[in-house]
Amino acid sequence: MAGGKEVKGKIAPQRFQEIQFQKSKGQHILKNPLLSIVQEAGLKSTDIVLEIGPGTRNLTMKLLEVCKVIAVELDPRMVLEVTRRVQGTPCANKLQVWMLAVIQCYILKTELPYFDVCVANVPYMISSPITFKLLSHPPLVRCAVILFQEEFAQHLVAQPGDSLFCRLSANTQLLARVFHLLKVGKNNLRPPPKVDSSVVRIEPRNPLPPINFICI
């Protein structure tokens, strides 16, 4: 299905052609149209947003109401869905200026283009490597607002002395400020994962602290 219905200047979410999601690829699509993490990113009209795994494009369309989007997607079916969605909509005119780029690739093996902010619902199995890939991206991004598995998110924000504080907590907080924003029940995703999720905001420290990474 292509297109969307314009309501008060915005694109209303619509039902889409049924897709068999693949859990082996970590495909759990955010289905609740009222659950938006876009506002937490503090986006500007001049921003370039990296969206990892646009899925069936609901989040993509909300981002496009504000700024340019570069969507990184592995599954060609999802690439087709997000491309179809912008056809025949008010976003089509904006895309002539913003140029929505859909890069079909594996995110961890790809040299990422320039972007200002990352907004994403990432597959749980790549949560840790994608976090540190973003934190090492030159130039430093302004922030990343990401939907993670709840336990992973709790480790990210845990403070020294907390039972959940670990190497992941220390390494992430050395390089960034991390904030827990929102808990997301598993029924807000399709198909529902076995656990709840959380939205986390990651702000890289700029400049980064002086660190000697040489192993002794």
Which residues make up each annotated binding site? 28, 30, 53, 73, 121
d(C-alpha 49, C-alpha 68), whole Å: 6
The region, left, alpha or beta by phi > 0 then psi within -120 to 50, assigned to residue 88 is: left
Annotated binding site for S-adenosyl-L-methionine: 28, 30, 53, 73, 121
d(C-alpha 160, C-alpha 166), whole Å: 8
Contact 203, 170 (CB under 8 A): no
